[in-house]
Structure formats: structure tokens, C-alpha cells
A and B are shown apart, each in its own frame.
Chain A
Amino acid sequence: EADIYQTPRYLVIGTGKKITLECSQTMGHDKMYWYQQDPGMELHLIHYSYGVNSTEKGDLSSESTVSRIRTEHFPLTLESARPSHTSQYLCASGSGLYGYTFGSGTRLTVV
């Protein structure tokens, strides 16, 4: 079973609210990633981190921000949620060389 945890699993929130999606892993991986995925669609990399205090934007432009203060923790924050942010957000960790381990995802709905 994957040792990477995402909370909450589901979130319905009003427009304009600030939200933080949590992601934690217990595998000691330096590299962590956030992907955005609409139902039945492709995975798009929005943020990644190669270690503490290292964060980079991914291929898909996103209004979210991330932080990496501890190795095991990689939260994603939306300062002001909008309906266009409705999607599934998947967190992953590991090296590309051995495959990523994914969390179960957070399905976000902004109303």
C-alpha cells in the first residue's frame, strides 16, 4: 500500500475561499509532485519539488502555490478558489527512475 497520504479526499468550497490541500509521505523521498487531472483526462504537472526549500512550477500554469518546509510534507494552497479550479489534485513522490508513488487524490469542487 502506498505511503503517501492526501487530505481531504473530497472538498466542496465556495468561491473566494482560501484552501490548502495536504500531502504527506513517509518514504523519505526528496522529490515530490502535484498533478491536476480532470475526470477521464490527462495528468498535468503543476508543481514539483526536489527537496526542502525547493519548489518549481510545472508544465500547466496554475494559480496555486506550494511549499516544502519538511521533507515529508508538500502542501498546495489556493489563495482564492474559483470554479475553474474544480478538478482532481494528485500528489506523488519518488524518483522518475523507479516510478512515482501517488496518493489517492483530492477531488475539489468550487461552487
Chain B
Amino acid sequence: GESVGLHLPTLSVQEGDNSIINCAYSNSASDYFIWYKQESGKGPQFIIDIRSNMDKRQGQRVTVLLNKTVKHLSLQIAATQPGDSAVYFCAENEYETSYDKVIFGPGTSLSVIP
């Protein structure tokens, strides 16, 4: 079929190193952000979220940083493992004022080198 959009950027990381995946979002009014992980042959899975009144949130081995000044979001994965190999999507949502529609970023393909 006809492809729409850009091919995903890729990131290769050595097993055990930390990974940083970056995302620029478009809507300055977005107030909620989510990172999703999509493994091959599966649908995206929720990893971690952050509200616009925060600039950092930590989960298990993952940290999300939000910089509203430059509309930038990052996902940090500590001690990257082979199971972290996947495509990672950031998503933004203007929940309070819009009709609750999530906008997905283009995604980054993470490859973990054993």
C-alpha cells in the first residue's frame, strides 16, 4: 500500500547503557503527554505519562522529562535491555480544551546491541 509520512528515526544502544529518546511536540496547549512502546507485531503499549504541571516523572527504569519552554519531551531508559528493542512513540493530548484526541509523534526505533 501507499505509505504515508516519514520513516522512523533509529537509535542503537549497547545493552546495559542508558537510552534517551527525544520528541518534539507541536501544540503549546497540550497538557498531557504519554510514551508508548510498540514491539514488532503488537499494538502500542502505555509506558509512562506526565502532566503539564510536572517536568519530571520516574517509573521503573524509565524517566520522562518535559520541557514546555521548547516543547520537548524525552524518555530515558536506564540499563537498556534487549527486551527494550521496539518503536517508541510520544503522544500529546489537549485534554482540557479539546475533544480528547491524542496526537502521536513519528516514533523512534530503538535497537539494543547485545
Partners in one complex: yes
B45 proximal to A (CB < 8 A):
yes
Question: With A83-B1, A86-B1, A96-B95 known to touch, is A42 a contact of B44 (CB < 8 Å)?
Answer: no
A86 to B3, CA, bound (A): 9
B43 contacts A42, CB within 8 Å?
no
For B3, the chain A residues whose CB sits under 8 A away are 38, 41
Question: With A31-B100, A40-B8, A42-B106 known to touch, is A99 a contact of B46 (CB < 8 Å)?
Answer: yes
Question: With A41-B7, A42-B6 known to touch, is A92 a contact of B43 (CB < 8 Å)?
Answer: yes
A83 to B100, CA, bound (A): 32
**How close is A64's CB to chain B, nearest CB, in angstroms?**
13
Closest to B40 in A: A39
For B102, the chain A residues whose CB sits under 8 A away are 96, 100
**How close is B13's CB to chain A, nearest CB, in angstroms?**
18
Chain A positions within 8 Å of B, measured between CB atoms, are 2, 31, 35-36, 38, 40-45, 48, 50, 60, 83-87, 90, 92, 95-105, 110
B100 contacts A97, CB within 8 Å?
yes
Chain B positions within 8 Å of A, measured between CB atoms, are 1-8, 32, 34, 36, 41-46, 49, 87, 89, 93, 95, 99-102, 104-107, 109
Can you name 7 extra interface pairs (CB under 8 A) apart from A99-B46, A105-B42?
Answer: A40-B7, A41-B107, A42-B4, A42-B8, A60-B4, A97-B32, A104-B43
Closest to A97 in B: B95
Can you list the 8 inter-chain pairs with the closest CB atoms, starting with the nearest? Answer: A102-B43, A86-B1, A96-B93, A99-B46, A42-B5, A96-B102, A43-B104, A96-B100
Chain B facing A: main interface SS: loop
Closest to B2 in A: A84
**How close is B92's CB to chain A, nearest CB, in angstroms?**
9
A43 contacts B89, CB within 8 Å?
yes
Which of A2, A40, A41, A100 contacts B4, CB < 8 Å? A41
For A45, the chain B residues whose CB sits under 8 A away are 101
For B45, the chain A residues whose CB sits under 8 A away are 2, 102
For B36, the chain A residues whose CB sits under 8 A away are 99, 102
Which of A40, A84, A101 contacts B46, CB < 8 Å? A101
